[in-house]
Structure 1
Amino acid sequence: MTKFMTSHQDQIEFRLRRIADAEQLYPLIEKNRAYLSKWLPWVKSMRSVGDEAQFLQHAIIEMDAGILWMATIVVNGKVAGMIDIHEINVQRHSGQIGYWIDKGFSGREIMSESLQQVINIAKKKFKIHRLELIADVQNGASQRVAEKNGFKREGIMRDYLPPIRDENYHDAVLFSKIL
């Protein structure tokens, strides 16, 4: 379990994902559905606590296999979102970052400072050398989090993201950070 204080004096705790978290995470997803569904394709399929519990069960299997690290972000004792390293490839020493946060916690540097901690976990625990972050070209907030944490913009991946806001595929920005 990782705990730290942010520059805004929020106490952050990373709690490794567990099925019991579904009871707190699903209502948060539902509350933020309109906001999250603009950027994250999985939001559409998350329709119940049971769906979230099933997702967490799958995540735990992937964590046990060493291809995923995933944590619930707890801010001042309240579940606020999640952060992960997925597609961990031990041969290539690489992985990708994913995250989301309750809109009510935006603007307090929580995600940026959480990402700093996860970068350290990626380097120390998983020996990752190259860390990637993919953001929708229209998701300026996520791009700012990446850039603030030293990720370099590598280019645009055309039609990379599935139709979630409308009927069209969407471009994504590929960021990377060499650790």
Structure 2
Amino acid sequence: MMFVFKQFELNQHQVSLLLPEKNQAAALFEAVQADRKELRKWMPWVDDTKSERAEAKFIKYIQGQMVNGKVFMLTIVVDQVPVGMIDFHNIDRANRHAEVGYWLSSQAQGQGVMTRSLEAIIDYGFKTLGLHKILIQVDTENTKSSAIPQRLGFSREAVFKEQIYFHGQFRDFEEFGLVNPVDRH
């Protein structure tokens, strides 16, 4: 049985945000395989995703992390096909902030799917989790990814020079932040 977090229609497509289930592993692995070269530029986990079994193992791990309140992850499904994921991680309950991560198949990009998915998780973070602030870190060269938080009113708060060692080089990251409008003075 699948748990539907949110559903919406977008450009004649049905988009669902679902809790991760092992039966999504094959389609998610297929999406990673199809976009491996592009995803590999930005996502350190891509090289570890070598099989459908590895994806299923990751989903099982995430389910455990969700039960423990460490992560909140959703599978993005377009027209009943899993095409990406979005999550809260580094959830800091004491300081009421969390980071968002996301990826999306090239087949579903450019249609507003990730923007709407991010809106849904922001709403959940502020209204249900009681977060004060949501953060997103993006490689400075990943302009498509950094456009999404900017479109939703996030502010570019910092650039971390040579923050991550990735593919044999140090990479710069920029961090975007959004404060819960209810908490603003």
Please tell me the TM-score bracket, short chain as reference: over 0.9
Q: Deviations over 1:4-32 (max 9, x none)?
A: 123x3322101101122212211111111
Per-residue CA deviation, residues 91-126 of structure 1 (Å, 9 max, x unaligned), is 111101111001011111111111111100111221
Runs of 5+ consecutive residues of structure 1 not aligned to the other structure: none
2:93 is the counterpart of 1:90: yes
Determine helix, strand or coil for the equivalent of 1:37: helix
Alignment partner of 1:149 out of 149, 152, 157? 152
Alpha-carbon displacement from aligned partner over 1:126-150 (angstroms, at most 9, x marks no partner): 1111100000000001110010011
Give me the whole-angstrom Cα distance separating, in 2, the residues matched to 1:109 and 1:161: 28
Q: Is the CA contact (8 Å cut-off) linking 1:136 and 1:161 kept in structure 2?
A: no
Aligned to 2:183: none
The runs of 5 or more residues in structure 2 that have no matched partner are 181-185
Which residue does 1:23 correspond to in 2?
Answer: 26
- Give the aligned CA root-mean-square deviation in angstroms: 1.1
Aligned to 1:169, what secondary structure does the other structure show?
Answer: strand
2:175 equivalent in structure 1:
174
Which residue matches 2:105? 102
Q: 1:112 aligns with which of 103, 110, 115?
A: 115
How many angstroms apart in 2 are the aligned matches of 1:53 and 1:76? 21
RCO (CA 8 Å, sep 6+): is it higher in 1 or 2?
A: 1
If the length of structure 1 is used for normalisation, what is the TM-score?
A: 0.94
**Cα shift at 1:76:** 1.7
Give the structure-2-normalised TM-score: 0.91
Contact 1:81 1:101 survives alignment (8 Å): yes
- Matched positions, count: 176
Other structure's SS at 1:126 match: coil
